[in-house]
Amino acid sequence: MNLPFWIARKYLKGRKSNKLLSSITLISIVGIFVGVMALTVVLSVMDGFEKDLMDKIIGVNSHIIVQNKFGEEISDYKSLVEKVEEEKKVLSTAPFITGEGLIMKRGRTYSVSIRGVSPEEEKKVTKYGKIMKKGTIEKGGIAIGVELARFLNVEINDKVKILSPQGSKVTPVGLLPKVKVFEIKGIFESKMYEYDTSLIYMNLETAKKFLSKEGVSGIGVRIKDISNASGIAAKINKNVNDKFIARDWFKMNRSLYSAMKLEKKTMFIILTLIVLVASFNIVASLLTLVKEKTKEIGILKSLGFGPDKIKRIFLFNGMIIGSIGIVLGEIVGLIICYFIKIAEIEILPADIYYSTTLQVSFSFWNFFLVGVVALVIVFLASILPAKQAAKMDVVEALRYE
């Protein structure tokens, strides 16, 4: 065994006689433990939210969307599909129509986003088949979200009115929005509050007639590797006509993900300060230890221990204290994360956080990063006391012995 490390362990074990030193050491370990545990849990929860949000967004939207740059209809969309599918990494495509409107029932009115799709094709590019809980959209019928159904107090086969300015009629008194009665044929649950309260699915042909469209609004694209969506979108842009543009799911939700990344970095910095504050206790503990072991340091130096070996003794001492706190913090943090995952704690307002349940994602790199950062802080905190011990003069140390 390395001799400085062995001496450091002996110093750590021999502190029971000095209650003050033992208390400072215990506080140091607890401080590191709390900081590491908090960092581990918060990063895991924020990663969980990010992955859960991505899964919900992709559940309703395709990986890549190809549209006209100026928002115009795509009349000959089949030739566009052929161009898009020239990219080998594209798995499937599906046309869609979008529009805005108001849904009305028993005096209740809500703003909605209308999406016209072909069910069989839509299943290939989104999780349409999985999120549809009851029924399906038939010709002339619609599907609404569970939250919207609750607001309107409607069920399958109930009828609602939908008003749309896009299908406006010209009358002697001016433009009048189009109003039509639809039968609810399906209810879906995306588990994303925003979609479950404001999205309506229609059959593609039904949406064309209601919104007075001849073509489609865009083409949804599903690819093999979602992490490479930006690169594939760029390749599709090279294949298609200049008047079309392909946008990946990340670009379409950039502001949301940028905000989440910023929050994650901010929380990491703030919680790292807990570890930094705890490291000052390690400095105090080691300085007290250096003072207590003055005679022993003098004896070791007189026996031939150089400044480097003396320094290593106290560096090891600080690292042992820090390592205990780090290991305990990561273990307890892992246990808390596992408990959060299996408990499915519902404490969040869905209209703010997109989900009511706390989400957790276990990432090796998160645990590794937290451990390394904490270890570096502990190491830096141990340097000053170690240098103080290394500079101690042998004569001064043994003068009164």
Give per-residue pLDDT as tens, 286-344: 777 777 776 776 777 666 777 778 788 878 888 888 888 899 999 999 999 888 888 77
Look at the chain and count its residues: 401
Q: Is the pLDDT of residue 16 over 60?
A: no
Which residues lie below 8 Å from residue 194, measured CB to CB, with a gap of 6+? 354
Tell me if 159 sits within 8 A of 183, measured CB to CB: yes
Same-domain pairing of 287 and 342: yes
Same-domain pairing of 97 and 236: yes
Res 18: pLDDT: 55
Q: Is the pLDDT of residue 170 over 70?
A: no
Res 175: pLDDT: 63
Establish if 250 belongs to a structural domain.
no
Tell me if 202 sits within 8 A of 115, measured CB to CB: yes
Average pLDDT of span 11-15 = 61
Tell me the C-alpha to C-alpha distance, in Å, between residue 265 and each of 18, 234, 363. Answer: 41, 29, 16
CA distance 232 to 90: 8
Number of domains the chain contains: 2
**Entry pTM:** 0.73
Q: Is the pLDDT of residue 254 over 50?
A: yes
Res 199: pLDDT: 92
Q: Is the pLDDT of residue 69 over 90?
A: no
pLDDT digits (tens, 9 = 90+) for 126-142: 888 888 888 888 767 89
Paired tokens of 49: 């939210």
Establish if 351 belongs to a structural domain.
yes
Q: Which domain holds residue 282?
A: 3-57+256-398
Establish if 135 belongs to a structural domain.
yes
- Other beta carbons within 10 Å of 318: 26
Paired tokens of 375: 């270890």
Which residues lie below 8 Å from residue 278, measured CB to CB, with a gap of 6+? 28, 30, 31, 32, 34, 35, 325
Calculate helix-pair angle for 307-343, 19-60, nearest 10 degrees. 40
Q: 144 falls in which pLDDT band (50, 70, 90)? A: very high
Q: Is the pLDDT of residue 14 over 60?
A: no
pLDDT digits (tens, 9 = 90+) for 92-126: 999 999 988 899 988 888 999 999 998 888 888 88
Same-domain pairing of 284 and 351: yes
Res 244: pLDDT: 87
Tell me the C-alpha to C-alpha distance, in Å, between residue 21 and each of 6, 25, 44, 112. Answer: 19, 6, 35, 66
- Other beta carbons within 10 Å of 178: 17
Tell me if 377 sits within 8 A of 325, measured CB to CB: no
Give 10 or 82, the one with higher predicted confidence: 82
Res 400: pLDDT: 45
Average pLDDT of span 28-50 = 87
Q: 257 falls in which pLDDT band (50, 70, 90)? A: confident
Q: Is the pLDDT of residue 201 over 90?
A: yes
Which residues lie below 8 Å from residue 99, measured CB to CB, with a gap of 6+? 113, 114, 116, 164, 166, 207, 210, 211, 213, 217
Across the chain, mean pLDDT equals 82
Same-domain pairing of 178 and 262: no
Give 345 or 250, the one with higher predicted confidence: 250
Res 396: pLDDT: 57
Same-domain pairing of 45 and 77: no
Average pLDDT of span 58-81 = 85
Tell me if 99 sits within 8 A of 164, measured CB to CB: yes
Among 213, 242, 271, residue at a domain's last position:
242
Largest CA distance in the chain: 112
3-state secondary structure of 288: helix
Same-domain pairing of 29 and 105: no
Res 356: pLDDT: 64
Tell me the C-alpha to C-alpha distance, in Å, between residue 125 and each of 66, 121, 206. Answer: 13, 7, 20
Average pLDDT of span 35-49 = 87
Average pLDDT of span 148-168 = 85
DSSP assignment string, 172-240: TTEEEEEEEEEEEEEEE--S-HHHHHHEEEEEHHHHHHHTT-SSBSEEEEEES-GGGHHHHHHHHHHHS
Res 214: pLDDT: 84
Same-domain pairing of 208 and 271: no
CA distance 65 to 69: 12
Same-domain pairing of 109 and 166: yes
Strand partners of residue 104: 109, 161
Same-domain pairing of 233 and 375: no
pLDDT digits (tens, 9 = 90+) for 370-400: 889 999 998 888 888 888 777 766 555 555 4
Establish if 379 belongs to a structural domain.
yes
Percent of the chain beyond pLDDT 90?
A: 13
Q: Is the pLDDT of residue 347 over 80?
A: no
Among 242, 272, 296, residue at a domain's last position:
242
Give 234 or 177, the one with higher predicted confidence: 234
Give how far the C-alpha of residue 159 lies from the chain's centroid of Cα atoms, to the nearest Å.
39
Q: Report CA torsion sign: 17, 18, 21, 24.
A: positive
Same-domain pairing of 359 and 333: yes
Establish if 279 belongs to a structural domain.
yes
Same-domain pairing of 286 and 228: no
Among 216, 242, 268, residue at a domain's last position:
242
Same-domain pairing of 233 and 186: yes
